[in-house]
Amino acid sequence: MQGSLLVLTGALLALPTLCAGQGAQPKPVSKKSSTSSAKSANTAAKPVEQPPKTMYAELTIGELIAEDANRWSDKMSTRAAVGGFITQVAKGDDGDTDIRICENPKVEGMDRARCIVAKCIPKIPCDLPQVGRPITVKGITRYDAKVGTHWWEIHPVEEIEK
């Protein structure tokens, strides 16, 4: 009985060493022959795969504003496409271009119930239509909860449809 226990203990102690020796061995590096390079030159190049198209949740300004920033619904997405009218364009101190987009072109000021802010950043510049014109912005949705703001934003804007 003690002999069996001794053999079992020895086998258990040797098990990690045996397993380590069975790991992946590096493959020897072979030199490519001139025939293989000629063969690869004759084969047609594979087409480059396009990255998957970015999906945007299509939302109205009202739908976006109605969302609770702390609880995302099924209709919300990290990225959204939101349409409206440009009511103001301003250059921010940080280099961003701030675009106020409202449901109606006649909205005065920042009406948080009917407007959002879209921000174009220097790395992704925007070609903007004039104030009063319709626009659809696509980008990342954020809720700006800084003191004095508290509004929904598309920041950064990734694409604009005029």
CA-based nearest residue to 162, from 142, 140, 141, 132 = 132
Q: Determine the average pLDDT of the residues in 16-34.
A: 51
The pLDDT mean for the chain works out to 79
pLDDT winner (highest mean) among 4-8, 39-43, 63-67:
63-67
pTM, whole model, 2 decimals? 0.65
CATH number of 57-161: 2.40.50.140
Q: Is the pLDDT of residue 162 over 50?
A: yes
Q: Find all residues with CB under 8 Å of 94, minimum gap 6, and list them.
A: none
Residue 31 pLDDT level (bands cut at 50, 70, 90): low
What does the pLDDT look like over 123-137, one tens digit per residue? 999 988 799 999 999
What does the pLDDT look like over 44-68, one tens digit per residue? 667 777 778 889 999 999 999 988 8
pLDDT of residue 9: 52
What does the pLDDT look like over 86-123, one tens digit per residue? 999 999 889 999 999 999 999 988 999 999 999 999 99
Instruction: Dig out the tokens for 49 from the structure.
Output: 């795969």
**Domain boundaries in the chain?**
57-161
